[in-house]
Copies of this chain bind each other. A is one copy, B any other.
Amino acid sequence: DGQVPTKAIKDPFTTDPVPDERLHILTAKPCNAESPGEALSEFCTPNETFYVRNHMWVPSVEEQEHNLVIELCDGTEKTYSMSDLRNRFKQHKVTATLQCAGNRRKDMTKHARQTNGLQWTVGAISTAEWEGVKLRDVLADTGVNLNNPSPDDKHAQFLGLEAYGASIPLCKAIDPSGDVLLALKMNGDTLPREHGFPLRVIVPGNVAARSVKWLRKVVISDEESTTQWQRRDYKSFGPNDTRPDWDAAKSIQEMPVTSAITSILNGFAVAEGTEKGLNVEGYAYSGGGREIVRVDVSTDGGKTWDQAELLDDKAMGTKAWCWKRWRYALGESAEGKTTLMVKATDEAYNTQPQSYSSIYNARGNLATAWHSVDIKSLDKGTD
């Protein structure tokens, strides 16, 4: 009838890229999808199977039309085109793991009780080599005094093209060892649209929610971002806290130490007696650039532990921003055992909590308890 179909115009998701079919889709609009086990077995996750965590639609933008605005406390504003960023500043590469605050939330739900949020298993985490310019270099160009910032310069707020926003403390943004990047490339390629094309801020060591995609503006401020993602969603409370004091709680930035088994899923079936020949793999990760120093594996429910082999992957960056992959070959002692359990320790010797009940929070954030996988033995007999 010649009319424009209203629904198609109003739905901002229609131009979202089609997600790779190997991803495990949790929601389509917005797109939220886990990395599959095979992607988690590589040190750098391929762009196609890097987990996707979007709060809204994927903006459509041409690189030539996109600018980054930086606004300082005194009102100074400076605008940078993508070619300014590419040509006027030194380019850096940083390898960094990004992890959603809700990674492994499904485990918390299963082992404790109901949580509000996407029910991720172990795949809301991925690693890439990011390439771009250091945020501190651009801030210095705009006029921030890196050695002696004004006392009002407390937070760097990030605004995306859709409406998403978040912030980090300015000290992280300008720390020479902080490696905060304005990334134009991911694993050597142009940033894919669903990962923030044409510009994403990468905050290594912090919860991925601070690595804002489709970055259009950075505001230096005396207060945190006022969005719900800064002031509400990405916080955590005590197991009993039914009336949380949002304002008093610190927003999640650096993440606690965690680990997971990725090579086999819960309920993995092996022929009876062959569990002792199983090779198990997974990752361990800690926030703040703290390196993983040990991964312990148990086949007897945590009574005794053995150590997994840590893989010696090479990363770019000043601190340990990446997950540590690990490998463990089950031996004779695993015969007849049906549960594999893993926990990691980082260089500050922090370790994971044993139970989900002790860290339960209604939002299901930071589900970092010991990870376990049950193996199902296929009886060779008549059953």
Contact = CB atoms under 8 A, between A and B. Distances in A.
Specify how many copies of this chain sit in the oligomer. Answer: 2
Interface string A338-356: 0000010101111111110
Contacts of A350: 256-257, 348, 350
Contacts of A355: 302, 354
A48 interface: no
A352 B351 CA distance: 7
A351 B359 contact: yes
A240 interface: yes
Interface stretch (A118-126, A185-193, A269-277, A286-294): A286-294
Nearest to A349: B256
Contact residues of A: prevailing secondary structure: loop
Nearest to A207: B349
A278 interface: no
Contacts of A354: 353-355, 358
Contacts of A254: 290, 347-349
A232 B256 CA distance: 27
A366 B353 contact: no
Given A171-B177, A250-B293, A293-B249, A304 B351 contact: no
Contacts of A215: none
Given A238-B296, A305-B238, A354-B353, A256 B177 contact: no
Nearest to A296: B238
A2 B171 CA distance: 68
A38 interface: no
A252 B349 contact: yes
B288 A348 contact: yes
19 contacts: A238-B296, A238-B307, A239-B304, A240-B305, A240-B307, A254-B290, A255-B348, A256-B348, A256-B350, A257-B350, A302-B357, A303-B357, A348-B350, A349-B366, A351-B353, A351-B358, A353-B353, A353-B354, A354-B354
